[in-house]
A and B are shown apart, each in its own frame.
Chain A
Amino acid sequence: GENVEQHPSTLSVQEGDSAVIKCTYSDSASNYFPWYKQELGKRPQLIIDIRSNVGEKKDQRIAVTLNKTAKHFSLHITETQPEDSAVYFCAATNAGGTSYGKLTFGQGTILTVHP
């Protein structure tokens, strides 16, 4: 089955700095890679996703890059703000395949943005 590794486990930055979180996956059949933000005691919220037919996707201050050859993908947050502080999870799945789209998650990154 799929295995997703996520680094770093904790990340501390100053407001206005950039933050980068990296994930690797093992199953070359995986083709859909969402990123979720989870605040303490709240539900995971999708912040951005990417499919394997593109290499990069941007949405305002958030971007995701995908390297299929190396089987890794990264989340980039620019101009960080204190409200970006949360736990971020990457995930991977073979959407449309026999896995029915079930997500395999990384272990999470606790991002802290200091004012």
Chain B
Amino acid sequence: GAGVSQSPRYKVAKRGQDVALRCDPISGHVSLFWYQQALGQGPEFLTYFQNEAQLDKSGLPSDRFFAERPEGSVSTLKIQRTQQEDSAVYLCASSPLRSTDTQYFGPGTRLTVL
């Protein structure tokens, strides 16, 4: 079946612009995670949703970062007033039900802030 998809795959923003990154999880998956992957590093946790509820946002680096999943399926990560240090690949992952389930990753969105 279809895997996790993300759009856009690439985004170039000027410093100060707002961006919105979309994640389409595998259909029926309850859990959804966002991770940030800097160049040459492992992914780092940003936030977690169980259905539409955002249960953990401890990894969001600042109040410029905001995520939502209003209907418990598609999720959007929004970054306001982008800064150069926001440049990274943003990965979305979903898992079927429990936190013990395997996470399946999307291809990521590569954000470059100029």
Contact = CB atoms under 8 A, between A and B. Distances in A.
B63 to A, nearest CB: 20
Given A102-B45, A105-B42, A108-B42, A46 B102 contact: yes
Contact of B45 (A6, A103, A108): A103
Interface of B: 4, 31, 33, 35, 40-45, 48, 50, 55-56, 59, 91, 95, 98-108
A44 B102 contact: no
Contacts of B41: 107-108
4 nearest interchain CB pairs?
A101-B99, A105-B42, A95-B100, A102-B45
Interface of A: 4, 6, 32, 34, 36, 42-46, 49, 89, 91, 93, 95-97, 99-108
B43 A101 contact: no
